[in-house]
Amino acid sequence: MARLTAINPETATGKTKELFDGIQAQLGMVPNMMRTMANSTAMLEGYLKLSSTLGRGKLGAVRSGLIALTVAESNSCNYCLSAHTYIGGNMLKIDAAAMGAARGGESADPKTAAILAFTQTLVSKRGLVSDADVDTLKAAGVNETEIAEIVGHTALNILTNYFNNTAGTVVDFPLVESYSAATV
C-alpha cells in the first residue's frame, strides 16, 4: 500500500511538469517511482541528474543494471527489482539467467562478478570496505574510475530502494519479489 502519493503528470505544474515532460519524452511514461519522488521537486531532480550523469560513465548500462539488481535484492526493494528486471530484459537485452545471478551478486563474467561481489560488500558494510576488499576488486581488473562509479551506482540504488520501501511505491512493472519477501 502506498504511503506517499504519486503525483498525476496531467495535473503537475511548474518545474515538476517540466521534469515529467522530459521523463515522458525519454521513457514514454512517467513511472510511479518518479511520480512519487515528485512530492519533492528537489528529490526528483536530484535523482534524475545523478542517474543521468552516472549513465554516461565507464561502467555502461548493462553493468549498471546488474548493480541495480544486486542492490535491490540486498535491500528487498520489490519496486526496483521489478523495474530493473523489466528494463534489463526489454531495453538492455540482459538474459534472465544473468539477471537472476546478479540478484545474488554473481556473474559468469569474472570482472562483472568481482564488481557485483564488491557491490554486496559495499552494501553490507555500509561503505566501510577494507583495503583487501578494494585490492580484490583491482586484482580483477577494475580500475579506480570504475570503482568510483560502482560506489556512485550503489549509492543511487540505495537511495531509490530506501525511497520506494519508505513510500510504498506502487509497482507499475511486472512484479518481481525479493527472495526474502518471497519466503516470508
Q: How far apart are CA 119 and CA 64, in angstroms?
A: 11
Residue 144 lies in a domain: yes
The stretch 122-144 carries a mean pLDDT of 98
Confidence of residue 184 (pLDDT cuts 50, 70, 90): very low
One domain for residues 126 and 141: yes
One domain for residues 132 and 167: yes
Residue 4 lies in a domain: no
pLDDT of residue 1: 84
Residue 81 lies in a domain: yes
3-state per-residue secondary structure call for 56-71: CCCCHHHHHHHHHHHH
One domain for residues 67 and 153: yes
pLDDT tens digits, one per residue of 31-87: 999 999 999 999 999 999 999 999 999 999 999 999 999 999 999 999 999 999 999
One domain for residues 35 and 79: no
Q: How far apart are CA 73 and CA 179, in angstroms?
A: 7
Residue 19 has pLDDT above 90, yes or no: yes
CATH number at residue 159: 1.20.1290.10
One domain for residues 84 and 133: yes
Residue 93 has pLDDT above 80, yes or no: yes
Q: Whole domain around residue 97: which residue ranges?
A: 60-179
Confidence of residue 181 (pLDDT cuts 50, 70, 90): low
Residue 154 lies in a domain: yes
Q: How far apart are CA 97 and CA 119, in angstroms?
A: 19
Residue 9 lies in a domain: no
In eight-state DSSP terms, residue 3 is: S
One domain for residues 26 and 87: no
The stretch 126-134 carries a mean pLDDT of 98
Percent of the chain with pLDDT over 90: 97
Residue 109 has pLDDT above 90, yes or no: yes
Residue 6 lies in a domain: no
Residue 182 has pLDDT above 90, yes or no: no
One domain for residues 126 and 168: yes
Residue 142 lies in a domain: yes
The stretch 136-157 carries a mean pLDDT of 98
In total, how many domains does the chain have? 2
Residue 183 has pLDDT above 50, yes or no: no
Q: Taking a C-beta distance cutoff of 8 angstroms, is the pair 51, 27 a contact?
A: no
One domain for residues 95 and 123: yes
Residue whose grid cell is 551506482: 153
Ranking 7-21, 65-79, 170-184 by mean pLDDT, the lowest is: 170-184
Q: How far apart are CA 50 and CA 63, in angstroms?
A: 17
Residue 7 lies in a domain: no
One domain for residues 104 and 45: no
